[in-house]
Amino acid sequence: MSTHIGAKPGDIAQTVLMPGDPLRAKWAAEKFLDAPRCINEVRGMFGFTGTWRGNPVTIQGSGMGMPSLSIYANELIRDYGARTLIRIGSAGAMQENVNVRDVILAMTASSVGNPSRAMLREIHYAPHADYGLLRAAHDAAMARKTPVHVGGIYSSDTFYNERPDLHEQMVRHGILAVEMEAAELYTLAARHDCRALAVLTVSDHLITGEDLPAIEREQSFGDMVEIALEAAFA
C-alpha cells in the first residue's frame, strides 16, 4: 500500500493503462479485461487489475492534470514495479487535418512546465514516447483501419485557456492536440527507465468547435484502449 494507492503487493501489473477519469478506468476494465477486480478506491480514484489475452493488466485512474498524474505514476513505478505506462485519454485537436474521433499517438509532449521542472532546473527537457510502444501502436491502428496521427502534442497546465496567443503558436508549430498529462508521464518514465506512451482520442476541436457528446466519447474510446493494449504486448 502506498500513500494514494491502496493496492496490496502483487495487486498491480507491470503494464498499466492510465485514463484520467476513474470511471473510465472502471468502464475500460469491465469492457476489455477478463476477471477484473478493484484494487484501489482511495479518494475515489479507482484502479482495476485483470488480464487481456492472458496478460496481467492494471487500469488505474490518474486524475486531471500533471500534478495528479505525477502522484499516481510515481507510486505505480516506485512502490508497485510498473514498467509500462500508457495514458489513454481525450484531447482537443489543434490542426485542421485532425478530426474528432481520430486517434493521436503522442511522439513528443511540449509544456510550459511540469512537476519535474524544479528538478530539471534550467534544462528544457524534451519529453518523448517510447519508440517501441509508438511503433506498435501505429501498427495496431493501421491494422484496425483507425484514423491515426503521430506527432507532437501540448500538455497544458490549465483547462480554461486565457492565452489564445499561446495556442496560436502551438498550431503554427504543428502541434496536433492539447491535453493535460503526457509531458509529466514521459518525463517520469525516462527518469525511472520505464516505457510510456499517450494514446489519445480527439473528443473536441479547438478550430472547428466540434465537440463529442458524453455517450459518443465513451463509444469512440474503444479503439484507443485496444490499440494501447495491443501496443503493450506486441
- Per-residue pLDDT tens over the stretch 157-213: 888 888 889 889 999 999 999 999 999 999 999 999 999 999 999 999 999 999 988
**Within-domain flag for 3:** no
CATH number of the structural domain spanning residue 208 = 3.40.50.1580
End-to-end CA distance of the chain: 30
Residue 218 predicted with pLDDT over 70? no
**Within-domain flag for 34:** yes
Annotated binding site: 4, 20, 24, 43, 87-90, 179-181, 203-204
Q: Which residue has 478550430 as its cell numbers? A: 207
**Within-domain flag for 116:** yes
Handedness of CA 95, 99, 130, 63 (dihedral sign): positive
**Within-domain flag for 30:** yes
**Within-domain flag for 9:** no
The predicted-structure confidence for 6-37, as pLDDT tens digits, reads as follows 999 999 999 999 999 999 999 999 999 999 99
Grouping H, G, I as helix, E, B as strand and the rest as coil, residue 89 is: strand
Catalytic machinery residues: 204
Q: Given this model, what pLDDT does residue 219 score?
A: 61
CB 55 within 8 A of CB 15: yes
Residue 59: burial class (beta carbons within 10 Å; 0-12, 13-18, 19+): buried
Residue-range definition of the domain harbouring residue 98: 15-232
Q: Given this model, what pLDDT does residue 122 score?
A: 82
Structure confidence at residue 118 as a pLDDT band (50, 70, 90): confident
Annotated binding site for phosphate: 20, 24, 43, 87-90
Domain count, the chain: 1
d(CA 204, CA 195): 28
Annotated binding site for a purine D-ribonucleoside: 4, 179-181, 203-204
d(CA 40, CA 145): 35
**Within-domain flag for 1:** no
**Within-domain flag for 36:** yes
**Within-domain flag for 57:** yes
Residue 216 predicted with pLDDT over 80? no
Q: Given this model, what pLDDT does residue 114 score?
A: 78
| Amino acid at site 35 | A
Write out the E strands in 71-188: 84-93, 103-111, 148-155, 177-179
